[in-house]
Amino acid sequence: MDDNKKSYSGLKGFLFGILFTLGIMCILFLVKNRDYVMGKEMNPTELGARTKVADIYELIEDVYLGEVDNKKMTDYMCAGLVTGLGDKYSTYYTQEQFEKIMQSTNGHYSGIGVAIYQDSQGRILIESCYENTPAAKAGIKPGDILLKVGDKPVSSMSTNEVVDLIKDTKEGETVSMTLERGDQPYTVDVTIEEVEAISVTGKMLENQIGYIRISEFTGVTAEQFKDAYGKLQDQGMNRLIIDLRSNPGGLVSGVCDTLREILPKGLIVYTEDKYGNRSEQNCDGKSPISIPLAVLVNSSSASASEIFAGAVQDYGTGTIVGTVTYGKGVVQDTYQLKNGGAVKLTVSHYFTPKGNNINGKGITPDVEIDMPDDSEEDVQLNKAKEILLH
């Protein structure tokens, strides 16, 4: 009787083991082939690729000798998958990279509120210090030479390395900076805060010609443009130059909101996705510009900058001056992933108000003029002034 019980118990355990193994195999099959099971048709290449990835994971778990960093391995795999599209505008971002990108495009970041540059001698200088920022409150001024961040000399660093060094300090904490002004070194403690990135600057040139420089289009660009534009109007501006040279683009919403300050009523830009769905951005035309306008562009003016130049050119609102633009006539959307990170994918073409697709071609200026490398003067800016005065 006891032997029968043992046999029965052993058989039950054996059958349970078989059923458990079959259950695991079914789950693995469903994970690998979920689209197929749910009725979605999959071609052999797609099915093979998914199976291959699962096989590689299993091999790594079974036989790989070294330590496995699953997060790093996953990030590299995702990056490789997007790179395989062969589209230079589509990108995979890690969670850390995505957070930095979002700060940049929104127009806010954790920092001290300065722009820096490296001169021909390799020195790091303060190019500009924005109003009401931690740097300005600490007494830092344009032209100051940065010597140290904390106890680290910056003389052998690039500007990007210096920026990263400053950003290593968390928001709310202070960073010690040693600078030099007129051969006199001084040290200040600057608190890291959320500051608004300055993408628009303006000034009055001779003959009451206003000048506005837009370095990129972010979530705060339109408001900064409106402020600069209004100040120049208050100063009696009767002509305007908008400088988009080397502006890489940015947000479509940012450029459209900026254009709404100067365009007549009508279409600003429209996009079409892979299915032919059309989306339009329009202007109500409440404040069309009423003074002569020139827009400066070059081969590094791209994307949103080309939307700006294309709309101004199509409406005849101003004269485009410079060299043929970059030719990026496609739009990307960024999708945040559930488990961290994000993917930026090209999702549509954009067209100027007259229906021009400038992708790979760029916008040809109304007045083409190169900027010689050895020129001591800004010949493109001078040409824009000349056009506006005649």
Question: In angstroms, rounded to a whole number, what is the distance separating the alpha carbons of residues 195 and 175?
Answer: 15
Q: What is the pLDDT of residues 324-338, one digit of tens each?
A: 999 999 999 999 999
**Percent of the chain whose predicted confidence (pLDDT) is above 70:** 88
Question: In angstroms, rounded to a whole number, what is the distance separating the alpha carbons of residues 94 and 78?
Answer: 9
Q: What is the pLDDT of residues 138-178, one digit of tens each?
A: 999 999 999 999 999 998 898 889 988 888 888 889 999 99
- Cα of 180 vs its chain's centroid, Å: 33
Q: Which residue has the higher pLDDT, 276 or 372?
A: 276
Question: In angstroms, rounded to a whole number, what is the distance separating the alpha carbons of residues 170 and 149?
Answer: 14
Domains of the chain: residue spans and CATH: 2-90 (no CATH), 109-196 (2.30.42.10), 200-389 (3.90.226.10)
C-beta separation of 148 from 154 below 8 A: yes
Question: In angstroms, rounded to a whole number, what is the distance separating the alpha carbons of residues 382 and 374?
Answer: 16
Question: In angstroms, rounded to a whole number, what is the distance separating the alpha carbons of residues 177 and 172?
Answer: 16
